[in-house]
Amino acid sequence: MSGSKILVNKTGSYIEGVLNVRKGSNPQDHLKNVDFSLDVGQTKTVQYGDDQNPFLNGVSYEYKPSGSLVSFSAQVATRGSQWDNVFNTNSTLTFHDISPSASISGSN
C-alpha cells in the first residue's frame, strides 16, 4: 500500500513518535506530521500518505528504558541519501534499543 509503513518496536519500551511526510518527491516540501505509538514488541501498519505523497522525510521518536529518556530524530536532506533510502525503499521500519542511543533499520 502506497504511503504506509509497517512499524516494529524492538526497543523493549513503549514508543511515541512522529512521521514527517513529504509533499511529492522533493525533500524540501513538507506535507504533514503523523503521530504514532507502539507498545513493547508491537508491530503495526501506519498509513501516512497516498499515491501522490508516498515518501517520508523523517522520523522522530522517544522511549524510556531503565528510567532514562532516549530521543531520536532523523531527517532526509537530499534524495538518495542514507535516510531517504532507509525510509523510502523499505516497507518496514524497525526501532531498536542500543541505549544510550537508538537506531532505525529498513527491510522488505
| Domain with residues 4-107, CATH architecture | Sandwich (2.60)
pLDDT (0 to 100) of residue 103: 65
Cα(95)–Cα(108) distance, integer angstroms: 15
User: pLDDT by residue (tens digit) across 33-46?
Assistant: 999 999 999 999 99
Question: Are the C-beta atoms of residues 19 and 38 closer than 8 Å to each other?
Answer: no
| Mean pLDDT calculated for residue range 94-107 | 75
pLDDT at residue 1 is higher than 70: no
- Residue identified by cell 516540501 is 29
Extents of the domains making up the chain: 4-107
The residue among 33, 10, 38, 40 whose CA lies nearest residue 102 is: 10
Q: Which of the two residues, 5 and 1, has the higher pLDDT score? A: 5
